[in-house]
Structure formats: C-alpha cells, structure tokens
C-alpha cells in the first residue's frame, strides 16, 4: 500500500480536534488531555500504528519510573500493629477512653483500646519502628517511604476499594492502572499493560469494578492474570489444537481477510484487526514464558518464599510481578486477601489470628520482591506501593476480643522504588494512631504521587467524558506528596 492508512477515529469514536489543538496552542492552559475529548489520538506522537490505543506514548515530563507494582492489602491492615508505632497505646490496652471513630459500626465517641498486639523494633539505618509481624520487611526499611497520614472518604469496603483504585467512591471511573496505561501505553504489546493478580480465596468485593476502565475503552481495563494454570483468559489453545494447526488456521484467516481488504484498503480498522490476530499469536507465545518461573534459580525462589507453603502463593505472584515488569508491563496489582471475613485483612474478630495469617503470607515475599528488584536494577524504575483501602481503629469493635473496626481517618501506606527516597516517614496520626493530624494526605495525593513518578502531570492527565474533562485526581486536583518526589 502506498499511502498511510487514514486514521479518523479513536476506538470508533470520531472527535473534532479543536480542543486538543487549543490545548496544544495555549501552553498556559492548565489542562492538556492526551486524547483530546473522548478521543483523537495525540498529535505529539504522530499517528500510532493502526491508531493503537496501547502504543507507547511519551509522558508529560521525564519520568522517574515506568512501572508500578501495587500490593493491595485488601480488608485494611491495622496501622498501629504494623508500621505506625504508638508507644502510648500499649499501656492503654483494655481501658475505655473518649475517641471519635467512624467505621462499619457507625460513629462512636468512646471505645476500649486494644493495645498493639506485637512488639516493635527499630530497624535499618533510619531506625524505623516495625512490628514483629514483618521481620523480613523490617530489613528493607531504608528503601521505603512510609506515609502515616493517609485518609480516605469512606470507611466501608465497597466504596473505599473503589476510591483507592479509581479515586471515586462510586463505580464507573477508570482505575489507576487504566490511567497509567492510557497515559503511557504499554512497552510490550505481547503482554497486557495492566495486570491484576487476585488472592487464592477469590476476588475482592465489587469484583471487576476494582480493575475496570469505567468510561474509557475496555482496552485500558486490568487483565486478570492467574499465577498458575492458564495465565490469561482464553490464552491457551484448546487442548485439541496444535500450534502448527492454529498457525494454519490463522494463515487461512489472514488470506481471507486480505482478500476482503483488497477492495477496502483505506479502512484502518480492518487492518488493525488483521494485525490484532498476529498480536494474539505472539501473546500466546510470550505470556506463558513470562509467567513460567521454572527458569528462576532456587535462590531466587527462596528469596520470595516459594519454598514455604505459607508464603508460596504470594511469593509466586511477587516473582511474577517482577518478571512482568521486566518485560514491560506497566501496572501490576496483587491482592493479598480476597473473598470475605478473615480471608482478608478485615480483622473484626480476632486481630492476632487475622494479621498473623496475612502478614505471615506476605512479609517474606514482599521483602524478597524489593531485594530482587534492587539487585536487578529494577527498583529505580519501579514503584512498589503497599497498603489497603483504609486502616483500623485503635479501639475494639466489640465488647470482647481484639477485633478492630475500619478507620479511614488515618492509616499508613508505603512506597518504595521509582526514585522515591527510602528510610523516611511522612505525616503522622494522633498519639492513638486514630486520625491523621500531621500533613494529612488524601488518596488523591497518593494517586498524584504515583502518576507524577511515571512522568504524568496528575492535574493535566484527563479524558473527556460526559461533558467533563475527567481526571483521576478529581475536580479539585491534587498535588503529589512533596517528600516523595
């Protein structure tokens, strides 16, 4: 063919380009979306092959990182039992005190303190206090930036999960991983750009809403990747079909498609679809290799705890995350915890049982991941994020027992890699660990920080939908956490 196929649409929608041009023309305008309105591809990168919405795109400015591994501790880990050391809380154990809390059980003005159930020890050059739940992670604190003053809009799982993933407490908006792949495309077309690995006990509540692309095209939604068996839905050829046979079928199909295209040569969608079968073919070859950890050394497997039944599952997922990032996957999310009740971090009943279980399954794998990424020189370009949709209250939920209710007013998340300074702690909760009081950061600030590290301006990355320039960080916008950038 002698002319560039004309590309007039983006994912089938045709848009006038004037807004984009305006954006490009008036540098002072605060908003420049990548695909003006709901979509014309950017001028800046020139036409992408077949208008491919997953083609790599330049960031807004030089990035510090090009990939994210988000370790989602679903259910909400307790900050005061993990990384937010509150020495005064131990002595208050069992005492009923005045404290304002809001959780599943509603608003309360008083509560019985449950003292932290684990001792804390100082670790690393930075002397960070880490609870005994995380003996392995304690060795990594000099690489980690802790944010102790996180807060979120909802203390209830469903809406809080959506907020942590998509910035809103209602469904329908794209997730952080969708925004990252929308903004930057993917570096490896043979693998999905946004991958989600679920807990062995099942998905989180609201299921696929947690990795939905919402109002963006489905191409930006998370692909569920299984750590064992067929990694991606429909990736494996049916048992009765051999590889040469499938190639034969594809060749016949492409001949048929080529004959069809011959009289329709200006149609880039038809060409794109022909191309998509070759991409699918390559994905069938590459994805199984990406998830095959057989080539990893015993030492590496041990680093991730794959040699121990307790940590094998999460360890395998962490190792896969490294392999995926190595191969250009933009955004990997791993869930620790699924299903309901004590199958995740939602410790309403027996805190010690619950957190021992989940920390025990994840501590060594996560430490292994950080170590391995660093050893391979990948940590500088990969942001690792740890945390849940909220934290837990310093007081007990019920009359008896150690269970804690949800706490969205103050909780801890940590980040490592991607040029984020290690060995620091930002913000603080009150002396009970209940509420963020010093430099409080909303979930949007966390999102802004991650986008910023990826070279995207969180207040400029937008997508036109329903008459509005939608942004991950919402109407008010949000600044990255200064200490982390």
Partner 1 sequence: MRLPLLCALSLVVTATAQDAASWWAWRPLLRPPVPDVGADAFVSNDVDRFVLAQLRERGLRPAAPASRTALIRRLSYDLTGLGPSPADVAAFAADDRPTAYAELVERLLASPQYGVHQARHWLDLARFAETNSFERDGRKPAAWRYRDWVVDAFNRDLPWADFLVQQLAGDELPDADVATVTATGFLRLGLWDDEPTDALQAVYDDLDSIADTTARAMLGISMGCARCHDHKKDPISTRDYYAFLAFFENLRPYRPLGGNGGALSPENYTRTLPVAGALGQQEAATAAWRAERGALAARAAAAADAGYRQLSPRARVALLADAERGLVARYSADRSDAQQLRDDVAHRDGAIEGQVVPVDGRVGTALRFDGDDRVVLPLLVRDSFTIAFWVRSHSHGRGDSNDPRWYFGDGLVDGEVHGEVADFGIAWLGDGCIAAGTGAPDTFVASPPGHADGQWHHVAFTRDAASGRIALYVDGALAGAATGSTAPLDAPPRLVVGDLQPGDHGFTGDLDELCFFDRALAPAEVVASALQLRGGVAAAAACGDGGSALTAFAALPEPVVATATVLCARETGARPAPSFVRIRGDVHQQGEAVVPAFPAVFGAGPPRIEPQAFGQSSGRRTALARWITAADNALCWRVAANRIWQHHFGRGLCRTPNDFGRLGEQPTHSALLDWLACELVARGGSSKAMHRLIVMSGAYRMACAEDAAALAQDPQNDAFWRFDRRRLSAEELRDSMLAAAGTLDLRIGGPSVYPPLPKAVLATSSRPDEAWGTSSPQDAARRSLFVHQKRSLQEPLLAAFDLADPDSSCPVRFATVQPTQALMLLNGEFAQATAAALARRLEREADGARAQLERGLWLTTCRPPLPAEVDRLLALHAELCAAHGRSPADALQRCCLVLLNQNEFVYLD
Do residues 355 and 81 lie in contact, with contact meaning Cβ atoms separated by under 8 Å? yes
Do residues 81 and 350 lie in contact, with contact meaning Cβ atoms separated by under 8 Å? no
Quote the least distance from Cβ 165 to partner 1, whole Å: 13
Quote the least distance from Cβ 66 to partner 1, whole Å: 21
Q: Which stretch binds partner 1 (CB under 8 A): 64-72, 77-85, 131-139, 224-232?
A: 224-232
Quote the least distance from Cβ 146 to partner 1, whole Å: 26
Q: Which stretch binds partner 1 (CB under 8 A): 63-71, 221-229, 294-302, 303-311?
A: 221-229
Q: Which stretch binds partner 1 (CB under 8 A): 346-354, 365-373, 395-403, 462-470?
A: 462-470
Which of 41, 53, 410, 480 binds partner 1 (CB under 8 A)? It is: 53
**Judged by CB, which is closer to partner 1: 110, or 170?**
170
Residues within window 117-136 making contact with partner 1, judged by CB under 8 A: none
Which of 25, 27, 294, 467 binds partner 1 (CB under 8 A)? It is: 467
Quote the least distance from Cβ 288 to partner 1, whole Å: 13
Could you give the C-alpha distances from 30 to 17, 23, 83, 229, in angstroms and in order?
Answer: 18, 9, 38, 47
Residues within window 12-51 making contact with partner 1, judged by CB under 8 A: 12-16, 19, 22-23, 29-31, 50
Give me the 246-285 binding string for partner 1, x by CB under 8 A, dash otherwise: x-xx--xx-xxx-xxx-xxxxx-xx-xxx-xx-xx--xx-
Quote the least distance from Cβ 350 to partner 1, whole Å: 16
Residues within window 59-88 making contact with partner 1, judged by CB under 8 A: none
Which of 34, 67, 133, 161 binds partner 1 (CB under 8 A)? It is: 161
Which of 164, 195, 205, 359 binds partner 1 (CB under 8 A)? It is: 205
Dmax (CA) for the chain in angstroms is 81
Tokens of 452: 């910023």
Which of 45, 94, 127, 207 binds partner 1 (CB under 8 A)? It is: 207
445 contacts partner 1 (rule: CB under 8 A): no
468 contacts partner 1 (rule: CB under 8 A): yes
Which candidate, 4, 462, 67, places its Cα nearest to that of 265? 4
φ and ψ at 288, to 5 degrees?
-65, -35
For every residue of 358-382, DSSP letters joined together read HHHHHHHHHHHHHHHHHHTT-GGGE
Which of 88, 97, 127, 208 binds partner 1 (CB under 8 A)? It is: 208
Which of 78, 311, 395, 470 binds partner 1 (CB under 8 A)? It is: 470
For every residue of 140-203, DSSP letters joined together read GGGGEEEEEEEE-S-SSHHHHHHHHHHSSSSSSS--HHHHHHHHH--S-TTS-SEEEE-BTTBP
CA atoms of 220 and 213, how far apart (whole Å): 5
Quote the least distance from Cβ 235 to partner 1, whole Å: 6
Do residues 133 and 402 lie in contact, with contact meaning Cβ atoms separated by under 8 Å? no
**Judged by CB, which is closer to partner 1: 19, or 369?**
19
Tokens of 281: 């073919």
Which candidate, 368, 416, 391, places its Cα nearest to that of 145? 416
97 contacts partner 1 (rule: CB under 8 A): no
Dihedral of alpha carbons 143, 147, 153, 156, sign: positive
Question: 10 Å Cβ neighbour count for 360?
Answer: 16
158 contacts partner 1 (rule: CB under 8 A): yes
Q: Which stretch binds partner 1 (CB under 8 A): 371-379, 418-426, 429-437, 466-474?
A: 466-474
Give the residue carrying structure tokens 């907020």: 163
**Judged by CB, which is closer to partner 1: 64, or 465?**
465
CA atoms of 223 and 287, how far apart (whole Å): 12
Give me the 225-244 binding string for partner 1, x by CB under 8 A, dash otherwise: -x---x-xxxxxxx-xxx-x
Do residues 202 and 339 lie in contact, with contact meaning Cβ atoms separated by under 8 Å? yes
Quote the least distance from Cβ 238 to partner 1, whole Å: 6
Quote the least distance from Cβ 26 to partner 1, whole Å: 9
CA atoms of 48 and 192, how far apart (whole Å): 18
**Judged by CB, which is closer to partner 1: 225, or 450?**
225
Residues within window 328-347 making contact with partner 1, judged by CB under 8 A: 338-340
Residues within window 365-424 making contact with partner 1, judged by CB under 8 A: none
CA atoms of 139 and 85, how far apart (whole Å): 16
Residue 441 CB partners (closer than 8 Å, separation 6+): 147, 149, 150, 151, 426, 427, 481
204 contacts partner 1 (rule: CB under 8 A): yes
| H-type alpha helices, 218-375 | 243-262, 268-290, 298-303, 309-326, 351-375
Residue 312 CB partners (closer than 8 Å, separation 6+): 305, 306
- Total residues contacting partner 1 by CB under 8 A comes to 111
55 contacts partner 1 (rule: CB under 8 A): no
189 contacts partner 1 (rule: CB under 8 A): yes
186 contacts partner 1 (rule: CB under 8 A): no
Q: Which stretch binds partner 1 (CB under 8 A): 2-10, 55-63, 125-133, 433-441?
A: 2-10
**Judged by CB, which is closer to partner 1: 143, or 157?**
157
Could you give the C-alpha distances from 389 to 156, 165, 373, 392, in angstroms and in order?
Answer: 9, 9, 25, 10
């Amino acid at each position: 063919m002698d002319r560039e196929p004309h590309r007039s649409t983006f994912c089938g929608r045709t848009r006038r380009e004037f807004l984009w041009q305006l954006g490009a023309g008036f540098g002072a305008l605060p908003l420049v979306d990548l695909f003006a309105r709901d979509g014309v591809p950017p001028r800046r990168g020139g036409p992408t092959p077949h208008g491919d919405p997953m083609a790599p795109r330049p960031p807004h400015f030089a990035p510090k990182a090009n990939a994210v591994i988000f370790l989602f501790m679903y259910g909400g880990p307790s900050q005061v039992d993990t990384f937010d050391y509150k020495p005064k809380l131990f002595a208050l154990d069992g005492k009923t005190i005045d404290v304002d809390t809001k959780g599943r059980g509603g608003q309360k003005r008083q509560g019985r303190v449950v003292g932290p159930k684990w001792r804390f020890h100082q670790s690393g050059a930075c002397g960070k206090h880490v609870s005994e739940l995380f003996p392995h992670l304690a060795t990594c604190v000099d690489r980690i930036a802790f944010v102790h003053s996180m807060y979120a809009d909802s203390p209830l799982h469903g809406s809080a999960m959506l907020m942590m993933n998509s910035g809103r407490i209602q469904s329908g908006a794209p997730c952080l991983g969708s925004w990252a792949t929308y903004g930057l495309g993917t570096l490896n077309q043979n693998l999905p750009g946004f991958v989600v690995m679920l807990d062995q006990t099942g998905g989180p509540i609201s299921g696929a809403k947690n990795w939905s692309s919402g109002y963006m095209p489905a191409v930006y939604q998370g692909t569920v990747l299984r750590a064992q068996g067929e990694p991606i839905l429909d990736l494996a050829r049916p048992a009765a079909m051999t590889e040469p046979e499938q190639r034969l079928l594809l060749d016949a199909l492409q001949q048929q498609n080529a004959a069809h295209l011959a009289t329709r040569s200006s149609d880039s969608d038809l060409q794109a679809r022909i191309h998509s079968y070759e991409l699918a073919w390559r994905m069938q070859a590459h994805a199984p290799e990406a998830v095959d950890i057989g080539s990893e050394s015993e030492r590496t497997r041990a680093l991730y705890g794959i040699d121990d039944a307790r940590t094998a599952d999460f360890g395998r997922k962490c190792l896969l995350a490294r392999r995926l990032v190595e191969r250009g996957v933009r955004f990997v999310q791993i869930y620790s915890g699924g299903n309901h009740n004590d199958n995740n971090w939602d410790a309403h009943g027996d805190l010690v049982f619950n957190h021992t279980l989940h920390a025990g399954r994840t501590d060594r794998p996560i430490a292994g991941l950080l170590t391995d990424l660093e050893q391979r020189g990948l940590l500088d370009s990969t942001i690792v994020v740890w945390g849940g949709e909220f934290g837990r209250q310093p007081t007990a939920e019920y009359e008896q027992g150690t269970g804690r209710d949800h706490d969205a007013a103050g909780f801890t998340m940590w980040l490592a890699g991607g040029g984020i300074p290690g060995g620091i702690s930002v913000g603080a909760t009150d002396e009970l660990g209940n509420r963020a009081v010093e430099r409080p950061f909303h979930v949007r600030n966390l999102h802004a920080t991650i986008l910023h590290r990826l070279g995207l301006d969180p207040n400029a990355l937008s997508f036109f939908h329903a008459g509005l320039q939608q942004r991950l960080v919402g109407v008010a916008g949000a600044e990255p956490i200064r200490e982390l950038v």
